[in-house]
Amino acid sequence: MYKLVGQNYSKFQEKSEKLQNKAHRIRRTRAMAREEIIDATETALSEMDFGALTVDIVMRRTGMTRSSFYHYFSGLDELALGFLDRLEQAIRQPVDKWLSGEGSTDYLGDTHTHLTAMFVAMEEHRTGMLALTKASNNSNQVYEEWRARVIDYFIILTARFIRQQVMLGRSLLTDPDRTARALILMNNALSNDNLMRAEPDDAAAIGRTSAEIWNATIYRQ
């Protein structure tokens, strides 16, 4: 029987290990790989600030190599935008239909229901919100994406909602655009302030306060 010895055995062993690694390699779609990296980042951010984060730290928490990070993200700024993708969906879901005119006849109650749900959703994505806040302070790209996809988006939607309330005879406001901007920037400030607190306020309580201000502003009630 032929025996592998010395250099031949080493080569055989190396080839065998490569085949085993290949067999155990997880096949991921691009979307799956991005989500795994974002999940790993969220885990890392429970232990450190976004400013201390590195690609090495993130990738050690995945089953992928360090170099594979750059197949899915150009850098940490784009990684932060991965949190924006999740956050955008989470905070639109409770309010989009309502602001688009699909509310009930209890319009005062609707304001409380939907804004409270939105603030609760933001609290559930607290880690991602903090990462986006830190990243937007240092990256124009992150800031502009956040501004366009969240702030400006909701200002436009809210201005349209106010115009509808005026048409329905529920509101006497004469400047929906500026009012919408003020309300959305207020919500953003409330959220950011709570993020930075060592002991955050209850998200539902913040939502109720915001709703009272919205109702007083739009409906004078």
Q: Which two tokens stand for residue 55?
A: 């690609």
Residue 189 has pLDDT above 80, yes or no: yes
Mean pLDDT to the nearest integer, 194-202: 91
For 104-159, write each residue's pLDDT tens digit. Answer: 999 999 999 999 999 999 999 998 888 888 888 888 999 999 999 999 999 999 99
Are 80 and 143 in contact by the 8 Å Cβ rule? The answer is no
For 27-82, write each residue's pLDDT tens digit. Answer: 778 889 999 999 999 889 888 888 889 999 999 999 888 999 999 999 998 998 98
How confident is the model at residue 14, as a pLDDT? 53
Size (the chain), residues: 221
Q: Please, what are the domains in the chain?
A: 23-72 (1.10.10), 76-219 (1.10.357.10)
Are 115 and 215 in contact by the 8 Å Cβ rule? The answer is no
Rg of the chain in Å (alpha carbons):
24
Residue 18 has pLDDT above 70, yes or no: no
How confident is the model at residue 151, as a pLDDT? 96
How confident is the model at residue 24, as a pLDDT? 45
CA dihedral 158→162→163→164, nearest 10 degrees, is 100
Output the pTM of the full model.
Answer: 0.81
How confident is the model at residue 221, as a pLDDT? 74
Mean pLDDT to the nearest integer, 72-94: 91
The pLDDT-based confidence of 16 (bands split at 50, 70, 90) is very low
